[in-house]
Chain A
């Protein structure tokens, strides 16, 4: 195939990717969109295989590598639990970044072996894609390790960390700049130094970030991998890579900023704030002394729920940990059958990545029409008889509205404290993921149902049936 014909043959792929993203605007068409994206990808692979006459050995290596990688990806995608989705995304993102860096390495090695200098824009693209791809690979692997519990979940900080990180990045950038500007453009060890510096930076920059902020980091690294793929498009002179990579780069950046916005924090604060590590004294403005917690029983809660007109369920990550999604749905069905209006209030950062809770509830066959976003449901709390908070904490903490000393001050929250009664299902009085005290638990309209979320819900189901 001629180069022009190839470029033309890649166009349907570009259209398919754009439509795939566009169709994600509605849950009705989202799946079709993703399948369209997959078809676009298959087409791009076919066009690439047809465009040059590779030798048998080349096809063989491509096929074996593809089958091995594809099998790993397929098995991982089928086996992963929905609660573990964030680390799966981190892993798939990391391998993409790694592939970009390896492609850059080979491109450099081959082009440096030819007489004459590499064209400036191609060597620039090699340097950028190797740098960002390596950072993305190493950072994603650490993010995966943290979420999987292989690396400490809490932020790891040490003295001189920021200076050290900047130095590592500078090593990478300097090595790249020497390649680009100097006469030693053909020295592959310079590129290896650049990659090593970028890998070390990727590790060091994710280590100090707490598990609660990991989704933001993954989203950022996702955008980085996209960007590096776009750079690879400049080095290989392929528009399909430039467009697809940059689509991911820019949409990923927007998504990252939206996530930060939902937590009312700047991206810089997330990356450099070491959140979850300094909160020991958080919220000093109000102490808990003299406040009492009202503990309740499943029977009492069942009566409240059964005779309510309107119940809003506020699920948090604790629900997912307890694997209680299906039981919650059963409870909701029981209440609905009694004529109670039941809805779910989903905070944008509930779960361990944005929209994670929606996936977990969808898995339990909760229709998405019952899942209400924060802005849509907040006005309904004053008319709500019972808000049932299950394993959520920071996203219902009124300190975010009122206590300017709280680390989460300013974060938009679900206004459950405005409903007529609040029942909190919680294992113990331990503070949540971010380690912040929650005054909702001490409010007079709040009662606490202590215990494992799944046990408590099973007890509630039995009690509601007995009412």
Chain B
């Protein structure tokens, strides 16, 4: 088995485990919190900012990478900051008696 295939299979294993983990952790979330849940998970997929940083910083010989990477950075950071900030604003309002 080539090195690439071995790594790929390890990645696939991680993916499968994440599927079940995702279902497991949110199955107990009450409908009370479904809107913050949606916007909170929304913020988490902003992790693509890692990808945006990598492609922008690592491809310096390429003008296309820099231009497209710039827009990817704008979009991904709007996702991250907006997602977490709006979720925090919502959850701040939930108070007990």
Contact = CB atoms under 8 A, between A and B. Distances in A.
Nearest to B53: A48
Interface string B15-27: 1001111110111
Contacts of B92: 31
A251 interface: yes
Nearest to B43: A37
A368 B96 contact: yes
Contacts of B37: 21, 24, 251, 255, 355
B8 A121 contact: yes
A161 interface: no
Contact of B31 (A65, A88, A354, A365): A354
Nearest to A351: B35
A110 B73 CA distance: 17
A228 to B, nearest CB: 8
Nearest to A19: B25
Contacts of B18: 230, 242-243, 246-247, 250
Contact of A225 (B27, B40, B45, B95): B45
Contact of B36 (A41, A58, A249, A359): A359
A348 B88 contact: no
A54 B66 CA distance: 12
Contacts of B84: 34, 37-38, 41
Contacts of B79: 69, 73, 92-93, 95-96, 99
B70 A246 contact: no
Nearest to A235: B51
Contacts of B54: 48, 52, 236, 238
Specify which of A222, A354, A355 lies most central, judged by the most chain B CB atoms within 10 Å of its CB.
Answer: A355
Contacts of B38: 89, 218-219, 222, 252, 255, 353-355
Contacts of A238: 50-51, 54
B59 A355 contact: no
Interface residues of B, number: 82
Nearest to A121: B8
Contact of B56 (A22, A62, A96, A240): A62
Contacts of A73: 77-83, 85
A103 B51 contact: yes
Interface of A is mostly: helix
A356 B31 CA distance: 9
Contacts of B76: 69, 95-96, 99
A399 to B, nearest CB: 23
Given A72-B78, A92-B79, A96-B79, A78 B85 contact: yes
Given A96-B75, A240-B50, A251 B35 contact: no
Interface in A213-258: 218-219, 222, 225-226, 229-230, 232-234, 236-252, 254-255, 258
B71 A41 contact: no
A384 B14 CA distance: 51
B51 A37 contact: no
A73 B34 CA distance: 21
Specify which of A30, A103, A246 lies most central, judged by the most chain B CB atoms within 10 Å of its CB.
Answer: A103
Contacts of A17: 44, 47
8 contacts: A21-B44, A48-B50, A72-B74, A85-B86, A107-B55, A109-B65, A222-B42, A241-B48
Given A103-B72, A241-B51, A353-B38, 7 more contacts: A20-B40, A73-B83, A85-B90, A92-B46, A96-B79, A102-B69, A353-B35
The 3 closest A-B pairs by CB, nearest first: A65-B73, A73-B82, A355-B34
Interface of B: 4, 7-8, 11, 14-15, 18-23, 25-60, 62, 64-66, 68-97
